[in-house]
Amino acid sequence: MAKFCTKCGKELVDGKACSCSSKKEETVVATSNGVNFKESCMDCVNVFKNIFTKPFDAIKEFVCEHKYIAGIILIVLVAISSGLYKIAVLKNMYTSTSASSFNANDLLGVLGGALSGDLGFGAPNYMKEFFTTFVTSLAEYALIVLIGYLIIAKLLKGKATWKHIVTAVAISLSVVLVGNVINSILVFIDGEFIGNIRSYIASFASIMSMLILYGAVKEVAEIDKNKLFIAVASMSVFATVVIDIVKKIFD
C-alpha cells in the first residue's frame, strides 16, 4: 500500500522521508544568511520601544549575531545625530536664537541642510563641522567594537563574536542617539535651566549607555564577571585615547 507524506501529500518512495522537510530547512537557512534591510530597520525601531522600559529584554532580543546589520545601522545613525547636534550648537551660537523665537523650522533647517549640503546660516564651516564630527564619532564607535572584540574574544577568550560586539555597542549607543536628538531641539531654547537640562540628559545618556553595554557584553561574552567590569570600561577609554592621539597627530 502506498504511503504519502503527512505534510505535503507527496507519495513516499520505498518508505523514505519526503524531501519537503529538507527543502524547508534549506529555505530557512538561506533566509537567515541573507540581509533583510527592512527587518533590520524594524529591529532598530524595537530597540527604542523597549530600551527605556525593558532594557534587559531589549538586550536579550537585540544582541545576537544575525542582527549585526541593524547594529551597524544604529551606529551610523548615532554618528549622524552627533554631527547634527554639533551644527545645532554652532547655529545657536551664531544666531543667538532665543526661547521666544524658537520654532520647529530651526531644527528642520538643520536636518534639511545637512541632507542637501546647503546649511547656510552664514557660516561656511557648518558642513565641515558636521562631517568632522560624524567621521570622528563613527571612527570612535568602530574602535570601541574592535577593541572590545580583541579584549573580550581574544585576550579574555570570551564566546562573543565581532557581530555580537557590534550589536552590544549599538544598543548601548541607542540612548546616546535619543539624547542627541532631544538636546538638538533644546539647544535652541536659551536659559540656564534648559542648559542644565541638556547637561543632565547628556549625563544620563552616558551613564545608561555604559550600563547597557555592560549588560549586553555580559549576555554574550561568557567571561569571568570580575574581568568584565574592566573589559567594558577599557573599550570606551582606549577608543577615546586612540582618537585623541590621532587628532593631535593631524592637528
Residues sharing a CB contact under 8 Å with residue 52, sequence separation 6 or more, in sequence order? 175
Query: pLDDT (tens digit, 9 = 90+) per residue, 120-134?
Result: 444 447 788 889 899
pLDDT tens digits for 48-99? 999 999 999 999 999 999 999 999 999 999 999 999 999 888 877 766 544 4
CB 129 within 8 A of CB 224: no
Residue 31 pLDDT: 44
CA-closest candidate to residue 236, choices 216, 209, 218: 209
pLDDT at 110 over 60: no
179/8: higher pLDDT: 179
Given a cut of 60, whether residue 234 has pLDDT beyond it is yes
| CB distance 88 to 107 below 8 Å | yes
239-245: long-range pairs with CB below 8 Å, 24+: 239/140, 239/141, 239/143, 239/144, 239/147, 240/140, 242/143, 243/136, 243/139, 243/140, 243/143
What distance in Å separates the CA atoms of residue 38 and residue 70, rounded to the nearest whole number? Answer: 10
What local confidence, expressed as pLDDT, does residue 29 receive? 40
Question: What local confidence, expressed as pLDDT, does residue 85 receive?
Answer: 93
What DSSP string describes 77-136?
Answer: HHHHHHHHHHHHHHHHHHH---TTT--HHHHHHHHHHHHHT---TT-TTHHHHHHHHHHH
Q: Cell numbers at residue 34, please?
A: 541573507
The yes-or-no verdict on residue 102 having pLDDT over 80 is no
**pLDDT average, residue stretch 102-116:** 56
On the question of pLDDT at 190 being above 90, the answer is no
244: exposed, middle or buried (Cβ count in 10 Å: 0-12, 13-18, 19+): exposed
User: Which residue type sits at 230?
Assistant: I
* Residue 221 backbone zone (phi > 0: left; psi -120 to 50: alpha; other: beta): alpha
Ranges 112-116, 189-193, 218-222: which has the least confidence: 112-116
Mean pLDDT of 236-250: 78
pTM recorded for the entire structure:
0.74
